[in-house]
Amino acid sequence: MTTSIPARADSAQLDATDPLAAHRDLFIGSETDLVYLDGNSLGRPLRSTAERLGTFVAEEWGGRLIRGWDERWFDLPRTLGDRIGAALLGAAPGQTAVGDSTTVLLYKMVRAAVAAHPERREIVVDTDNFPTDRYIVEGVARECGLDVVWITPDHTRGVTPELLAPVLGEQTALVLVSHVAYKSGFLADGPALAELTHAAGGWLLLDLSHSTGSVPLELDAWGVDLAVGCTYKYLNGGPGAPAFGYVAARHLDSGAFEQPIQGWMGAAEPFRMGPSYEPAPGIRRLISGTPPVLGMLALEDMVGLIESVGMAAVRAQSVALTEHAIALVDDVLPEVELRSPRPSAERGGHITIGHPRMREVTAALWRRDVIPDFREPDALRIGLSPLSTSFVEVEAGIRAVRDLLD
């Protein structure tokens, strides 16, 4: 349809020549007939993770007990954060920490951004952003007496510089954008959004939930102020695995970043247990309570795999998979509407297709062990995990939609 999508290649041939194909066997379920196209909701576990968790319980938790905190766990939110920063975010050490849910971290970030701009009264967010992002912004705006400035993107795309520029001004405290839009898969222009936001004097908070592990990020180079990301999608951390947060070093060093949930693990001297809260210097001030160690173990495995593969190869594979999916949709499902960008440079790791009958189609697909995601009211979302989804799996899924529409 456009030059960015190649003619459909043979799926089995693509798998046979795929340089990353060997990695699929590392994931549980790759040996089954299940067609899994929802890795952007919950990624498959690595095989190593099952054994690792059992070993952790028997040896590290059971064997070291409370000593584990001194030996490894206390620093784990930051050592793992630094690894995520280096391998995935383009972030120098000391700016990333793991813990809490994405929602709780978004709350901390939005509150911190508002507190750092006491003279400004507006938070900018888009109507197509994920519910938690919108709800957090609404709640913080209400509690702090601020206004929400809504951007309304085209549903097949997302927040562009052209949409953002007109709403920015001297009242802008914060702009919150999902770097890859959860519905359309639109990949926002991070550096351009940061530059615009900074020109207006506000901070940019990127939600990286659908970006991390699918598209390369350069948060330091782009000048992003704050970011939050999810780890149970392309980072395969398991259901409800803890999120991570990034705070640019300049806002930590200046002390401008202060978050409202003052817990002992974010205090300068946690074990002194002093009378008043004094925030830790550096990224540890993002932390509130005791870190969720069990929830970080699977994530450690996947970060290790991405470190060895490299995000450039992951992104190349992700692009190849989404291009293949779009070519198949064009070829096999002509009556369906593609609701994701066609140019690969504007697309993350998933695509969305719409049709009035998609609700019933999704239900029928699930009964056939073909598992994509459904989004209200009529959209099928196809998530392609770069290291665990095969080209054959993509084709099988799309042909199953064809069968069901017939």
The interface with its own copies within residues 131-190 (CB under 8 A) comprises 131-132, 134-136, 138-139, 143
Asked if 232 touches its own copies (CB under 8 A), the answer is: yes
Would you call 108 a catalytic residue per the annotation? no
- Stretches 89-97, 187-195, 287-295, 306-314: which one binds its own copies (CB under 8 A)? 287-295
Q: Contact with its own copies (CB under 8 A): which of 5, 14, 26, 42? A: 42
Q: Looking at 126, 300, 346, 373, which residue binds its own copies (CB under 8 A)?
A: 373
Closest to its own copies by CB, 4 or 290: 290
Helix (H) or strand (E) holding 75: none
293 touches its own copies by CB under 8 A: yes
- Which of 38, 133, 207, 301 is flagged as catalytic? 207
User: Least distance (Å) from its own copies to the CB of residue 104?
Assistant: 6
Q: What single-letter amino acid sits at 141?
A: A
Question: Which position among 107, 232, 257, 391 bears the catalytic label?
Answer: 232
CA distance 82 to 162: 33
- Residue 12 or 57: the one with the smaller Cβ distance to its own copies is 57
- DSSP β-ladder status, 172-178 and 370-371: unpaired
Query: Taking the complex as a whole, how short is the minimal distance between the CB of residue 10 and its own copies, in angstroms?
Result: 27
Please give the single-letter amino acid code of residue 107. Y
Beta bridge partners of 175: 124, 204
Report the C-alpha gap between 235 and 209 in whole angstroms. Answer: 10
The one-letter amino acid code at 369 reads D
Minimum distance from CB of 244 to its own copies (Å)? Answer: 13
* Active site annotation includes 246: no
- For residue 381, indicate whether it is catalytic: yes
Closest CA to 287 of 73, 98, 133, 136: 98
Residue recorded with tokens 């954008």? 177
Closest CA to 216 of 147, 138, 309, 286: 309
Residue from 61, 163, 402, 405 touching its own copies (CB under 8 A): that is 61
**Residues paired with residue 350 on neighbouring β-strands, in sequence order:** 383
User: Per-residue contact track with its own copies, 64 to 83, x per CB under 8 A?
Assistant: -xxxxx---x----------
- Residue 343 CB burial class (10 angstroms; 0-12, 13-18, ≥19): exposed
What is the closest distance, in whole angstroms, from the C-beta atom of residue 248 to its own copies in the complex? Answer: 23
| Contact in structure between 392 and 12 (CB atoms under 8 Å) | yes
Active-site residue identified among 107, 186, 381, 391:
381
* 391 in active site: no
Q: Is 387 in the site for its own copies (CB under 8 A)?
A: no
Decide: is 366 part of the binding site for its own copies (CB under 8 A).
yes
Task: Decide: helix, strand or coil at residue 189.
Answer: coil
Write down the H helix ranges in 150-296: 161-164, 190-200, 219-222, 249-253
Residue list 319-338, contact with its own copies (CB under 8 A): none
300 lies in the binding site for its own copies (CB under 8 A) = no
CA distance 219 to 238: 25
Binding of residue 270 to its own copies (CB under 8 A):
yes
Pairing state of beta strands 96-98 and 244-247? antiparallel
Residue type, 324: H
Q: From the candidates 8, 78, 233, 339, which is the catalytic residue?
A: 233
- Residue 282 in the binding site for its own copies (CB under 8 A): no
Q: Quick one: which segment of 8-16, 42-50, 185-193, 305-313 binds its own copies (CB under 8 A)?
A: 42-50
Is residue 255 involved in binding its own copies (CB under 8 A)?
Answer: no
Our finding on whether 368 is near its own copies (CB under 8 A) is no
Beta bridge mates, 178: 207
Find the shortest distance in angstroms from Cβ 192 to its own copies. Answer: 27
Is-catalytic flag, 232? yes
Q: Which C-beta is closer to its own copies: that of 90 or that of 158?
A: 158
For every residue of 295-325, DSSP letters joined together read GGHHHHHHHHHHHHH-HHHHHHHHHHHHHHH
How many residues bind its own copies (CB under 8 A)? The answer is: 80
How far apart CA 326 and CA 79 sit, in angstroms, is 38
Instruction: Between 134 and 198, name the residue whose CB sits nearer to its own copies.
Output: 134
Contact between 294 and its own copies by CB under 8 A: the answer reads: yes
Name which of 237, 232, 179, 177 is nearest 202 in CA terms: 177
Tell which one of 10, 25, 33, 51 touches its own copies (CB under 8 A).
51
Q: Which stretch binds its own copies (CB under 8 A): 12-20, 40-48, 307-315, 324-332?
A: 40-48
Q: What is the separation, in whole angstroms, between the first and last Cα of the chain?
A: 23
Residues known to be catalytic: 130, 207, 232-233, 381
